[in-house]
Structure 1
Amino acid sequence: MPNPSDATSKLDYEDLFRHLPVAVIVARERIMVDCNARALELFRAERDDIVDQSFSKLYPQKKDFASTGHRLGPLIAKRAVFSDDRIMRRIDGSHFWVTVRGFGYNPQRPFELAVWTFTDLSDSAKPPDVTSTLTDRERDVAACLVHGLTSKEIGKELNISPRTVDIHRASLLRKYGVRATPELITRLLA
């Protein structure tokens, strides 16, 4: 009878990574150091377009890259895994809506080594005109709402007042055309 550990030792983990069904990019200090085939397909790229390149290449504008870094760094440091919906840019210059999930290995330096996964939302039911009009702060509040935080907890997390959180929540409700937070969360997760 074969030993199960023998089968595991024969697995080619690099090959598994390359063929995962989800787009994955590994980055050090926001420089993309590796990616899998699905990421190349999603961003319509060749390996040379991604590997050893700044993540800024995949953002609509340089300011988006900078503001996202300032916004996500502290959130990644506080949570082991972070998720955010945003517009990204493919290598051919086209834009698309994507869910990004990130994991930083060092809470003191969240971008030192991070793994990012991407899910294309451009064909989903979420209307691009709504999501593209969200402010950075609305995105932060939306992400916290999805994680089940209260206004007070979100305020503490984002260093804003609970009343300001409620203002952003009301704006999200209006933009998504829903009446209550549970409906909003359902739409955000759709």
Structure 2
Amino acid sequence: MNDFEQLAFEHAPMGLTLTENRIIRSCNETFAQMFGYAKRDLIGRSFRLLYGSDQEFHQIRDIGLEPLRKSLPYSDERLMRRSDGTLFWCRFRARTLTPEAPLARTVLSFALIDNSPSGPKLTPREREVLLLLSKGQTSKEIARVLGLSPRTVEDVRARLLKKFQVKNVAVLLARLSGHGTDGARP
């Protein structure tokens, strides 16, 4: 890579990282700053570092594997964790270099959706439920994935709505993604 290409990689307006089996092999300065780390503290580390729990790290692994196996890019929006524990909402994109083993070598990008303060502090359970809600899962589906009763999931949903002072999950997700209709932020 020539100097200009290296400069472009380092200062791209989104976080970029190259991974092997979910281990960070290279990343740009934007990625490191986005997550609140020095680059040297990320290289060679597992992506587990960037998730709130082992369960969340393992659940997210299989999301998007099908398009990657077909050499297609995968994209979603997700909550990620900074080094100080604060959360941020970002647009995630992935492309594999090895479709036969999609996670063996991947190129990932992360773009901030909302750079405002992260709002209310969330419990690990609230984070799990919010992540699955953002994937469009119902309370029954979330309950099955997390091994909870649907009533427990409904209670967590109600707490999330109260914490973010919104009337429904659609408004909550719209606000977290920066697309709230009234411009209010949690």
TM-score category, normalised to shorter length: 0.5 to 0.7
The percent of aligned pairs where both chains have the same amino acid is: 17
Aligned to 1:99: 89
Instruction: Report the RMSD for the aligned CA atoms in angstroms.
Output: 3.9
Q: Which of 80, 83, 86 does residue 86 from structure 1 map onto?
A: 80
Q: Which of 121, 125, 135 does residue 144 from structure 1 map onto?
A: 135
1:23 offset after TM fit, Å?
2.1
1:118 offset after TM fit, Å?
5.1
1:135 offset after TM fit, Å?
3.7
Distance 2:111 2:56 in 1: 15
Counterpart of 2:24, as a letter, is M
Which structure 2 residues correspond to residues 1-190 of structure 1 after superposition, within 5 A?
Answer: 12-59=4-51, 64=53, 66-78=54-66, 80-89=74-83, 94-100=84-90, 101-105=92-96, 109-114=101-106, 115-117=108-110, 119=112, 124=116, 126-130=118-122, 134-141=126-133, 143-145=134-136, 151=138, 155=141, 164=150, 167=154, 169-190=157-178
Question: SS of the counterpart of 2:63?
Answer: helix
Deviations 1:18-67 (A, max 9, x none): 2202222221111111111212333454433222232334456xxx2x32
Distance 1:131 1:118 in 2: 24
Distance 2:37 2:160 in 1: 34
Counterpart of 1:69, as a letter, is F
Higher helix share: 1
Distance 1:104 1:69 in 2: 18
Aligned to 2:182: none
1:127 offset after TM fit, Å?
0.9
1:83 offset after TM fit, Å?
2.3
- Across the two proteins, how many residue pairs are aligned to each other? 164
Distance 1:113 1:171, change over 3 A: farther
Counterpart of 2:63, as a letter, is L
Larger-gyration structure (1/2): 1
Q: What TM-score results when the alignment is normalised by the length of structure 1?
A: 0.63
Distance 2:38 2:30 in 1: 11
Deviations 1:51-103 (A, max 9, x none): 2232334456xxx2x323311112122562132113231xxxx3332234241
Distance 1:102 1:52 in 2: 21
Distance 1:175 1:109, change over 3 A: farther
Q: What TM-score results when the alignment is normalised by the length of structure 2?
A: 0.64
